[in-house]
C-alpha cells in the first residue's frame, strides 16, 4: 500500500514538473514568411553611382563673330523650329552691301538682255547679207563685215552672261557674310539658356577658351540616361538589352529603355571603383510627366530572363544558398540547402532543395532563429 502511494506521488510529481516546464518554455518566435512560388526571374546589373538624364541632341550655340545684339527673338523656355532665327547682331552695313550686290546683279542682267538682243539682230542681219551676196546683190565685203559684227556681238553676249555669274557670286558672298550675323536653330527644341541682352556686345569663343554660349538649345523629343556600371559587370553587357529606368523625381514610376552604348574604355577615378559608362535610350518619352535634363537616374539592365520557375525572395537567402523553412505542423524552423539559378535583388531562381508552397522565412537574420527553434507565423 505504501508503495502504491509512493508511485502515485512520484507520477504526480513528474506530471507537475512536465507542466511547469511546458509553461516556462519560451514563446515561439514570430517570423515573417512567404511561400515558395513559381514566377519570372531576371538576372540584372545596376549602376554603381547615380546616372543622369540627358538629351540626344543639345547644342550650345555661339556666334561665329563678335558684334552688338540688335534683335533677340526668343526667351528661355521657348520652343523653336529648325532654321528659326534666334538672335541677330547689328548688321545694317552688311545689309547695304547685300543690296548693292543685288543692284549690281540686276544691272548685269539688264545689260546682258540688251547685248544679247543686239547679238541676235546682228546674227539675223549677217544671214540676210550672206544670202544676198550669194545672189550677187551685195558685195562680199559687206557680208563679211556683217558676219564679223555678229560674231563680236555674240562674244559680248557671252561676256554679259559671265558678268551675271560674277554678280550672282558676289551677291551670294555678301549674303553668306550677312548670315554670320544671324543665329538660327539647327533643330527643333527648347531654349534652355540665353547669354546676352539687346545692346550687349557678344564675342565668339576663341580656340581653347570656354565662353558661355549665346543660346543653349535642347531637343527634348529624344532622351537617354547615362550611368556607370562596375567593370566586373561590364563584360556581360550587349547592345540592345532591355533596361528598367527609375528616377528619384518619380519614385513610383518605372520607364523602359534599351542599352544603346557601352563605353570602349574603363573610367578610373581617384577613390572610386573603376566603372564603364553606358547609355540607355528611353523606348518612349513619357507625355504625362516632364523629364528634366539633369535628373538623377538609376538603370537596371536585364541580362537574362526566365519565365515560370520556382523562386524565393533574395532577402531570404542565408549564406548565399540556404533558407530557413517553417514547418507549421511541428512549429519548428529548419535550414534547407538550395541549388540556385539566376537572380537579382528581388527574386532568385530555385532549381532544387525546395518545394512549391513551402514557407520560407523572409528575415533570416532575426535574433533567435536557429535549427529546430520553435516558431510561428507572424500575422499583421
Task: DSSP for 268-324, please give it.
Answer: --TTS--EEEEEEEESS--SSS-PPTT-EEEEEEEEEEEEEEEEEEGGG-BTTTEEE
pTM value is 0.66
The rounded distance, in Å, linking the Cα atoms of 279 and 257 is 10
Triad 305, 307, 312: Cα angle to 5°: 90
Q: What is the pLDDT along the chain (380 residues), one digit of tens a residue?
A: 666 666 666 666 666 666 555 455 567 888 888 999 999 999 999 998 899 999 999 998 888 888 888 999 999 989 999 999 999 988 888 888 888 889 988 988 888 888 888 888 888 888 887 887 778 777 888 878 878 887 888 888 888 888 888 888 988 888 888 888 889 999 999 999 998 888 888 887 766 667 788 899 999 888 999 999 999 999 999 999 999 999 998 988 999 999 999 999 998 876 778 899 999 999 988 888 888 899 999 999 999 999 999 999 999 999 889 999 988 888 889 999 999 999 988 899 999 999 999 999 998 888 888 888 888 887 76
Query: Residue 88: how many CB atoms within 10 A of its CB?
Result: 18
The rounded distance, in Å, linking the Cα atoms of 54 and 224 is 5
Could you say which architecture CATH assigns to the domain 26-44+307-377?
Beta Barrel (2.40)
H-helix segments, the chain: 2-24, 92-134, 140-179, 231-234
Helix 92-134 / helix 140-179 crossing angle, nearest 10 deg:
160
Cell 528619384 sits at which residue? Answer: 248
Query: In the structure grid, which three cell numbers stand for residue 113, read together?
Result: 538682255
73, 78, 83, 92, 188 from 86: Cα distances, Å = 5, 10, 9, 18, 12
CATH of 46-57+220-305, one of 3.40.50.2020, 2.40.30.170, 2.40.30.10, 1.10.3720.10: 2.40.30.170
By CB atoms closer than 10 A (0-12, 13-18, 19+), residue 258 is: middle
CA-closest candidate to residue 87, choices 101, 105, 99, 75: 75
Amino acid at each position: 500500500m505504501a508503495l502504491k502511494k509512493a508511485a502515485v506521488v512520484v507520477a504526480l510529481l513528474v506530471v507537475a514538473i512536465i507542466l511547469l516546464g511546458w509553461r516556462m518554455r519560451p514563446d515561439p518566435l514570430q517570423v515573417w514568411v512567404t511561400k515558395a512560388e513559381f514566377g519570372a526571374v531576371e538576372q540584372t546589373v545596376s549602376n554603381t553611382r547615380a546616372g543622369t538624364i540627358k538629351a540626344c541632341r543639345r547644342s550650345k550655340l555661339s556666334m561665329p563673330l563678335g558684334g552688338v545684339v540688335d534683335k533677340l527673338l526668343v526667351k528661355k523656355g521657348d520652343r523653336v523650329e529648325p532654321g528659326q532665327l534666334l538672335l541677330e547682331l547689328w548688321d545694317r552695313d552688311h545689309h547695304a552691301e547685300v543690296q548693292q550686290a543685288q543692284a549690281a546683279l540686276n544691272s548685269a542682267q539688264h545689260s546682258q538682255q540688251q547685248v544679247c538682243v543686239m547679238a541676235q539682230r546682228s546674227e539675223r542681219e549677217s544671214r540676210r547679207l550672206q544670202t544676198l551676196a550669194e545672189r550677187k546683190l551685195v558685195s562680199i565685203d559687206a557680208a563679211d563685215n556683217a558676219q564679223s559684227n555678229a560674231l563680236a556681238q555674240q562674244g559680248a553676249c557671252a561676256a554679259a552672261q559671265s558678268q551675271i555669274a560674277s554678280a550672282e557670286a558676289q551677291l551670294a558672298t555678301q549674303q553668306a557674310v550677312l548670315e554670320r550675323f544671324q543665329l538660327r536653330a539647327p533643330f527643333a527644341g527648347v531654349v534652355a539658356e540665353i547669354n546676352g541682352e539687346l545692346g550687349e556686345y557678344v564675342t565668339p569663343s576663341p580656340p581653347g577658351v570656354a565662353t558661355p554660349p549665346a543660346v543653349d538649345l535642347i531637343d527634348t523629343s529624344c532622351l537617354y540616361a547615362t550611368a556607370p556600371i562596375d567593370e566586373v559587370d561590364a563584360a556581360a553587357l550587349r547592345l540592345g538589352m532591355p533596361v528598367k529606368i527609375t528616377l528619384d523625381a518619380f519614385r513610383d514610376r518605372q520607364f523602359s529603355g534599351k542599352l544603346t552604348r557601352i563605353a570602349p574604355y574603363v573610367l578610373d577615378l581617384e577613390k572610386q571603383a573603376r566603372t564603364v559608362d553606358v547609355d540607355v535610350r528611353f523606348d518612349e518619352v513619357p507625355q504625362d510627366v516632364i523629364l528634366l535634363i539633369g535628373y538623377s537616374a538609376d538603370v537596371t539592365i536585364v541580362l537574362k530572363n526566365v519565365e515560370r520557375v520556382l523562386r524565393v525572395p533574395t532577402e531570404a537567402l542565408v549564406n548565399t544558398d540556404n533558407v530557413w523553412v517553417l514547418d507549421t505542423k511541428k512549429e519548428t524552423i529548419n535550414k534547407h540547402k538550395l541549388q540556385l539559378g539566376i537572380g537579382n535583388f528581388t527574386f532568385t531562381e530555385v532549381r532544387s532543395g525546395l518545394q512549391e508552397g513551402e514557407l520560407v522565412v523572409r528575415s533570416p537574420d532575426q535574433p533567435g532563429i536557429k535549427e529546430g527553434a520553435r516558431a510561428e507565423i507572424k500575422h499583421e
